[in-house]
Structure 1
Amino acid sequence: MAELPAPTGRISRTSKDILSGTCGGIAQVLVGQPLDIVKVRLQTAPQGTFTGMADCAKQLIKNEGPLAFYKGTLTPLLGVGLCVSIQFGVFERMKREFGAANAARDPALKGKGLSGGQLYLAGAAAGLTNSFVAGPVEQIRIRLQTQQTKVFSGPLDCASKIVKASGASGIFRGIVPTLLREGHGMGCYFLTYEYLVQQLLAKTGKTRSEMPSMYAVLFGATSGLAVWLSAYPFDIVKTRMQTDAILPSERKFKGTLDCARQIYRSAGAGGFFRGLTPTLVRAPFSNSATFLAVEWAARNLEPYVVS
């Protein structure tokens, strides 16, 4: 990949983490958006609407045209960039805090890798922090993705109509399953990636900046599978709640538990895994792109950092 020009300014380490995360978020959306549309349609359509992922994609093209795969892209392009920057910013900060605590407890641990538990907790903290941005962003994106007729003219119109119909709290519809998905999912996500990186560096004796890009691709793909296999049922509940009626009086679901009960009652345990196939197909590609972009940006921004 191309290198950035020689340093002419200085940035903080936190700024580097946030900028790197933003690059990763943009890459994630551009690579993963088409399959995300298919996932959301499969999650929210009535039982029997589609026979599978291929049928859903075929009907999308037939009924709405190829551009339907990028419906609502502006929201995730901006929103996911922000979300991933928060995730990586908080995660890297937590890593530094845990590292400092380890070194204070035992000087021999200075510069050593973190434990699996610490990596999970750092990732969970990143996910929980991000939830309060991800929840509203994803609700707007999903409502734009699933509209068959033009109810919303764009992200701002969608947000305005949600708030007008159900108050400011309406924009946080589905926040409980979002917190569960992001907390546990991001814990598994970052634990998987960082564990694999730590094992590679310990085996090869290389520094992180010397790690070949192909490992960011492979480890990112594995982490993408880990997050969805660990947290997908929470995503189903979140999506169903976020596509429920905007007006509280017209909603099918009273809350998170009621939504989960109704999903189980209507479709059994399998109802919590609808749309998993396109998600698992998308995850390796979008998360490989995420970590490849993050590692590239972090490597090139490092000379600008004030330690």
Structure 2
Amino acid sequence: MSVGERGGTPPAAAVAAFKPSRTVVAGSRREESIPPYVKAAAGSFGGIVEACCLQPIDVIKTRLQLDRTGQYRGILHCGTTVVRTEGVRALWKGLTPFATHLTLKYALRLGSNALLQSAFKDSDTGHLSQRGRVASGFGAGVLEALLIVTPFEVVKIRLQQQKGLSPELLKYKGPVHCARMIIREEGLFGLWAGAAPTVMRNGTNQAAMFTAKNAFDGILWKKHEGDGRVLQPWQSMISGFLAGTVGPICTGPFDVVKTRLMAQSKSGGDMKYKGMIHAIRTIYVEEGLLTLWKGLLPRLMRIPPGQAIMWAVADQITGLYERRHLKNHFI
């Protein structure tokens, strides 16, 4: 005689009752998680779209941060000067390493953050504390900085600081050639110039960004991970934009120092800065405190919109998974 024939619990419910991972206390539920590989895929697709849309702003930011003589009077002047003297295509200099690095970076960022969050979650309830969320974000930022961001940004910045489009006048002919030249002239670790400020910048950025994105989703839209609801793209864009504004303000000095250190070439003998602390002190003494936030406005023009674009894409992909696999796990 079956369970249903004895008048007891229906078969489906009986099976569910013996699944420990789904067991809940009355009036509560165990928080479900989206697998890291789903988040990694979502991040990579978001990175491709972001890179294609926002590369010109990144080029302008880099040129402003490298400008020691006051050649550019601001964002618009820098952009128009680049277009006038080098052509419109110059605004997409370094797009290949930028797009590749964003795709890999977001895949690693969202995937590693998901893995770290799983490690920090309560084993019984699946709840993630605020401290665990911050630590997961910082850890994800450190990993992406060391494994992906630093070498790709070194190549990108070396390409972006070159003026002109004539190949015969440029030292670096492309991203692969640039990487080979750096390794030949400066050694393998030349690709990790500026690693310390990059680690500090990315770790702090991601700790703030993941925490803020989760908070804004909850405050604005009452959305929580694994609840089966999917935000509209415009809702994801608002949350992502707001979450992306905090990091650049806090990490401006790290970003400026990172750019200056990465732009130095040992082969040229132009080693003005000996490290992160030395660079901060030198810039402060020679150029003033506000120089440590040089390029902040183009960063704010690039990062928050970039986060808005990335999360609009990523949330739709993770939302599809939630609708198909997690929605029915709640009572």
TM-score band, normalised by the shorter chain?
0.7 to 0.9
Larger radius of gyration: 2
The TM-score normalised by the length of structure 1 is: 0.87
Match of 2:234 in 1: 214
The 8 Å contact of residues 166 and 248 in structure 1, kept in 2 or not, is answered as no
Once the 2 structures are TM-superposed, how far is the Cα of residue 116 of structure 1 from its aligned partner? Answer: 2.5
Once the 2 structures are TM-superposed, how far is the Cα of residue 305 of structure 1 from its aligned partner? Answer: 7.2
In 1: Cα distance, 2:120 partner to 2:221 partner? 19
Once the 2 structures are TM-superposed, how far is the Cα of residue 120 of structure 1 from its aligned partner? Answer: 1.2
Match of 1:13 in 2: 35
- Bigger Cα displacement from structure 2, 249-258 vs 288-297: 249-258
Match of 1:243 in 2: 263
* Cα deviation 1:199-255 (Å, max 9, x = unaligned): 346489993533232221001001111121121210100000001123284311111
Say which of 268, 271, 276 aligns to 2:296: 276
In 2: Cα distance, 1:70 partner to 1:45 partner? 19
Match of 1:169 in 2: 189
In 2: Cα distance, 1:173 partner to 1:208 partner? 43
* Cα deviation 1:20-39 (Å, max 9, x = unaligned): 11012112212221111110
Match of 1:144 in 2: 159
Say which of 111, 122, 126 aligns to 2:136: 122
User: Superposed, which structure 2 residues align to 1:1-307 within 5 Å?
Assistant: 13-99=35-121, 102-104=122-124, 110-112=125-127, 114-132=128-146, 133-148=148-163, 149-200=169-220, 202=222, 207=227, 209-247=229-267, 249-301=269-321
The 8 Å contact of residues 24 and 293 in structure 1, kept in 2 or not, is answered as yes
Match of 2:166 in 1: none
The 8 Å contact of residues 227 and 322 in structure 2, kept in 1 or not, is answered as no
- The one of the two structures with greater contact order (alpha-carbon pairs below 8 A, sep at least 6) is 1
The one-letter code matched in structure 1 to 2:136 is A
Unaligned runs of 5+ in 1: 1-11, 105-109
Unaligned runs of 5+ in 2: 1-33, 164-168
The 8 Å contact of residues 264 and 271 in structure 2, kept in 1 or not, is answered as yes
Change in Cα spacing, 1:208 to 1:141, as seen in structure 2 (3 Å) is farther
Once the 2 structures are TM-superposed, how far is the Cα of residue 285 of structure 1 from its aligned partner? Answer: 1.6
* Cα deviation 1:71-107 (Å, max 9, x = unaligned): 01011111110011100001112222222xx243xxx
In 1: Cα distance, 2:215 partner to 2:62 partner? 31
Change in Cα spacing, 1:267 to 1:29, as seen in structure 2 (3 Å) is same
- Bigger Cα displacement from structure 2, 170-179 vs 221-230: 221-230
The one-letter code matched in structure 2 to 1:77 is A
SS across alignment from 1:147: coil
Higher helix share: 1
In 1: Cα distance, 2:49 partner to 2:161 partner? 23
The one-letter code matched in structure 1 to 2:143 is T
In 2: Cα distance, 1:280 partner to 1:176 partner? 22
Match of 1:3 in 2: none
Once the 2 structures are TM-superposed, how far is the Cα of residue 278 of structure 1 from its aligned partner? Answer: 1.2
In 1: Cα distance, 2:63 partner to 2:291 partner? 14
In 1: Cα distance, 2:40 partner to 2:69 partner? 41
In 2: Cα distance, 1:73 partner to 1:203 partner? 34
Identity of aligned residues (%): 25
Change in Cα spacing, 1:95 to 1:201, as seen in structure 2 (3 Å) is farther
The TM-score normalised by the length of structure 2 is: 0.81
Once the 2 structures are TM-superposed, how far is the Cα of residue 58 of structure 1 from its aligned partner? Answer: 1.0
The one-letter code matched in structure 2 to 1:153 is K
Match of 1:107 in 2: none
In 1: Cα distance, 2:120 partner to 2:292 partner? 35
The 8 Å contact of residues 44 and 107 in structure 2, kept in 1 or not, is answered as yes
The 8 Å contact of residues 245 and 252 in structure 1, kept in 2 or not, is answered as no
The one-letter code matched in structure 1 to 2:95 is T
- Bigger Cα displacement from structure 2, 12-21 vs 202-211: 202-211
The 8 Å contact of residues 223 and 229 in structure 2, kept in 1 or not, is answered as no
In 2: Cα distance, 1:188 partner to 1:136 partner? 23
The 8 Å contact of residues 201 and 207 in structure 1, kept in 2 or not, is answered as no
